[in-house]
A and B are shown apart, each in its own frame.
Chain A
């Protein structure tokens, strides 16, 4: 057996160990031992497909931690997502060397979260590209309602875990809206619309095939032709000079009408119309009174004529009464 090249073997072992230690350190194996962490949880009412233990948690796009557990709450049919937050990602001082600035302690971080929640901070599931992988995004989402319903969903620190409010993901909202739109579309009676459309088309077809429509069209065509001829005649007749003359005469006429109307206005102003009207009214009243007098007179005259007729009749029957006077009535 050959002798071992111990230098080569030592070099190999040293390089291997160095590479191994470098790889392990760069992978952050001992991070959990030295880094301070905070625990958070949130509840969502949608599918968490694409979200796994170890998925990223980001605050306005900055990776700040990972998901530690995903469980189902049976009573409320919601999904609870537990997260571990690396507090070294949160610094308190601006403008200083970030490597020497210490990370904030967990109670201060929870206090900070509380104040930010009041300003609208909440969690949302976001897709990470087209791969189907998802992550938790913490941000100030505008025009969304963070869920606060129910005591278990109220944000705050309970049993060492900070509960964050959540809001439905964009996809979830989109799916809900789409479902609603589709439900509304489903209520439309397409069959009835189709039948009505067919009926309308049939009627339109009938109307179009009606021979009277052809006559109408012919008449319309004739009228249009005549109108066209008239327009042409007018064009020929109404030369610009004639048109100017006509307009000038029209202008004169309008002026005369205006003068006449001015004169009328003056006459009306001086004609004491109220007094004249009152006189006419009085005259009318007197006519009305005279009319009734005439009626009375005629009635009396009528009565007189009746009496005369009776008298003449009596004389005719008893001529002697002219000499003897009116006798007694026979019994």
Chain B
């Protein structure tokens, strides 16, 4: 009988467990976006002095990890685990980023939900007494993602209005059992929800039911309600996916309208930056969490946040074979007060 598992999919963290530091590094386009002041570093060009986009993405994550550790005041020896992942095949951005770190690694793939997946697992590892400190980090890169999943950058084609723009950036957090908050208090692990959307230019619609499922399950498992939160934020549904998610949650009797938004909506200025439905990618929720959400929680603007990373678990092979897009969403409760 698990003592920390409550309801169907949720774990209640029993001991105080804080995010003690965060870092985010983003590309030039994100640096021109509405959240630019929250990022630690804005790189000047997408190659960042490397020879390929994949190497540039790896460097983004490597530098982010080193910033997270520096800002936490811990040393490398204090870190028990890195939990990390990215969008590239076999998670190469991650593997090369942490190659020289000498820290135990769990490489994760949850597509764009990897930020909340890694924090959820990190929280359970620390709460279980298996570690004191863990770094949770993800990255994505517009150019390397387009190359792997879509068409060459220089191909002259149009994007439909539901398409999203992969965030170039890496963000992450250090979790620790010593700290003064924001605390991770609940982890609601998502399950795959697939309503048969096949259009990889409409990921928001593919992931919205998964996000809604996790949000509703979270409320049912914990007994909490939308009133207990002052921000409910999904990872990268974009503006269309956000509307769908809100509608599905609403149909199940939970009104989240006033406090609900999406990282993909916040990260770009849709009209000025020609990003259509909004941002996407692992980096989208990661840099928004490490920047905007964490800093605003520290300032006290938000005290109770439900952060729901969303992932579209397709590959270019599955898409070519006509498979639909499985969606997943992992929820985390972040609170300034523990218990």
Question: A and B bound?
Answer: no
